[in-house]
Chain A
Amino acid sequence: MTMVGTESEARVERPIRAARANGGRLWWLAVPAALIFIVFFVIPVASLFGLSFNKSVAGVIGLSSQFTLDNFIRIFTRATYYEAILRSIWVSAIVSTASLLFGYPLAYVIAKTVNPGRNTLLMIMVLSAMQLDMVIRMFGLMVLLGDNGLINGFLLYTGLVSQPLPLMYNTFGVIVGLVQITLPFMVLSLIGIIKAIHPSLEEAARALGASRIQAFFSIVLPLSMPGILAGTLLVFALSISSYVVPALMGGWKVMVLPIHIYQQIAEVGRWQFGAAIAVVLFVTSIIAVAIYHQAAIRTSGGRT
């Protein structure tokens, strides 16, 4: 066939030409956002990180040129702090996994719903979960999960338990709170990707002899990998950096890194040490994300 060569050449050439046009004329559209990003994010965060290399003095915020690693040595030699690093990582990992397990089926149903009315209704349900402030939603969870909450009240009333179950002010409560907060982000990351998988791919697999479940695991799930990757990374980042949820649902008993940062800066006034924990949190989360990303790319055969 003589068609082949010309067709694939045309396909390769077009994106290059488009990219050149974009790079040439459209870059200045990014300037306003880049300015805001630099002034209100890069500069404050960079100065906070700079602070972490100063000697810790309560109540002093000014940057000085005296360089020290004392704060970091303290973090990695005291169990309270390095255990908090590990706790932050595994809590976020569990939240990501739980969010994926709960979110995927919902995203799948929404993606496969063709009826526009029903589809909108499902989307509104997902988005409405994001309308209320996080703190208010956590108070709602307390009504449900507290020692005198609805669940324990019911269990005690029916005599299924004699003591209230410890559902909050512990790691379990923090995880429930974080899953509640992050679930919509997971679902939204997945819907578009699942929608983009053409139904005929699943049908082709079925006709070739795959059961519904085999077709899902051999076709739909591998093709969802980009969404799964994006969703879990987003949820991981939201969870590891969350302060409000561990504070309210953990009752200051679940010591993750953001709680330590808040305590050091807001309660003890040691900005330098708080900043050092922030640097560790930032680097930890980047390393965890990079490792996960690499692993995911390897298992999905390079397509993400």
Chain B
Amino acid sequence: MSDIHLKKLTKSYGGHLAVAGINLHIAEGEFFSLLGPSGCGKSTTLRMIAGFVQPTSGEIIIGADDVTSLPPEKRDIGIVFQNYAIFPHMNVADNIAFGLKLRKRPRDEIRRRVTDALRQVGLSGYEERYQRELSGGEQQRVALARVLVTEPRILLLDEPLSALDKSLREEMKYWIKDLQKKLGITTVYVTHDQDEALTMSDRIGVMQKAQVVQVGTPQEIYEAPKTLFVTTFIGHSNVMDVIVGSGSGSDMTVLIDGNPVPTRGPENLVPGQPVKLVVRPENVVIGPDQETPVRLPATVLSETYQGSLIRYRLSLGGQEIIAERQNQSGNERFNPGTPVTVGWDPGRSEALVA
């Protein structure tokens, strides 16, 4: 078990920066997700930690060891790939025993540990099967067992759920998280799926254009996004063009349709400066009788039924915003064209400089 330090880690491919000097500390036992769109450098970062890609500059420290120039086999890491990479010419038992054989463990110890590892991932009795006889979820479990049986210092997961269908993905999400907590192994998880990152992680590092733009707990990332990119990439957000009314930081207002609206935002803003006001759809409340500090007149444009949710498109001061309401019995429905009052908790809104 070890922590991971990335110091000014950089990778450039012929002038193109894939990873631009990122600094990260991943604590011992932490489940850390690197989240970002494709091409943001998250996979390259993971492959540098694994040793498959040599960094252009910077350092990678696992525990107390600088592993920057070590080959993958000397790093004592475990990695699970998107396609699981089960060796097709070996049965499940030989796949899992692969790392132990390389470590020259005695034969009966290998057999015992393979059996234990299979029990741990819930695949007892699968020893003799081959890759072509396993479903995607089973391959995933074998890939994890193969890695965990060698007791690596850190676990790297490269989009391990993206090849599974939706229901299995849900199941594996909680299963992997539980296993990781039980073993307490430091884990770096690469994904482009914000849902996976939010449910599984202790902390998330959001990556954009070769850089880590925000690091925080899932709650911090979702509720207090620091940039417009983070707020739009993670979940849905209403982004309104507004201007600064007064103040800055946690005590400020912006003007919507001339009405001062309290919110929080960055420091050093000047009144009249154009900014973006960000509010999540689930935080926009509708109804003429709502008692929220922010109250503004709006018009319903359309209503979409989504099962557990009802989604409203609203016109607010000439801009379109989305509001989501729980579909509970007793909740009033609004027809298109209805004038309504909308509001939100200022603590759930954020002014961001574009």
Binding site for B on A (CB under 8 A): 1, 3-4, 7-8, 198, 200-201, 203-212, 214, 218-219, 222-223, 300-301, 303
Q: Smallest distance from the beta carbon of A146 to chain B beta carbons, Å?
A: 47
Q: Are B168 and A203 in contact (CB under 8 A)?
A: no
Q: Are A208 and B85 in contact (CB under 8 A)?
A: no
**Distance A209 CA – B339 CA, assembled complex (angstroms):** 67
Q: Are A1 and B137 in contact (CB under 8 A)?
A: yes
| Chain B residues closer than 8 Å to A3, beta-carbon distance | 135, 137, 165, 167-168
Chain B: CB-nearest residue to A209: B102
| Chain A residues closer than 8 Å to B85, beta-carbon distance | 198, 200-201, 203-204
**Distance A210 CA – B95 CA, assembled complex (angstroms):** 13
| Chain B residues closer than 8 Å to A212, beta-carbon distance | 71
Size bracket, chain B contacts: 20 to 34
* Interface presence of B147 (CB below 8 A): yes
Q: Taking A222-B89, A223-B88, A301-B89 as contacts, is the C-beta distance between A207 and B78 under 8 angstroms?
A: yes
Q: Smallest distance from the beta carbon of B29 to chain A beta carbons, Å?
A: 20
Q: Smallest distance from the beta carbon of A194 to chain B beta carbons, Å?
A: 14
| Chain A residues closer than 8 Å to B136, beta-carbon distance | 7
Q: Are A1 and B135 in contact (CB under 8 A)?
A: yes
DSSP class of A's interface residues: helix, strand, loop or mixed? Answer: helix
| Chain B residues closer than 8 Å to A8, beta-carbon distance | 133, 135
Q: Are A205 and B135 in contact (CB under 8 A)?
A: no
| Chain A residues closer than 8 Å to B171, beta-carbon distance | 1
**Distance A198 CA – B163 CA, assembled complex (angstroms):** 15
| Chain A residues closer than 8 Å to B147, beta-carbon distance | 207-208
Chain A: CB-nearest residue to B98: A208
Q: Taking A3-B168, A201-B87 as contacts, is the C-beta distance between A206 and B72 under 8 angstroms?
A: yes
Q: Smallest distance from the beta carbon of A41 to chain B beta carbons, Å?
A: 36
Q: Are A204 and B79 in contact (CB under 8 A)?
A: yes
Q: Taking A3-B137, A7-B135, A200-B81 as contacts, is the C-beta distance between A207 and B168 under 8 angstroms?
A: no
| Chain B residues closer than 8 Å to A207, beta-carbon distance | 50-51, 72-73, 75, 77-79, 147
Q: Are A214 and B72 in contact (CB under 8 A)?
A: no
20 cross-chain CB contacts under 8 A = A1-B135, A1-B138, A3-B135, A3-B167, A4-B138, A200-B85, A201-B85, A201-B87, A203-B50, A203-B85, A204-B146, A206-B73, A208-B99, A208-B146, A208-B150, A209-B102, A211-B73, A223-B89, A301-B89, A303-B88
Q: Are B79 and A203 in contact (CB under 8 A)?
A: yes
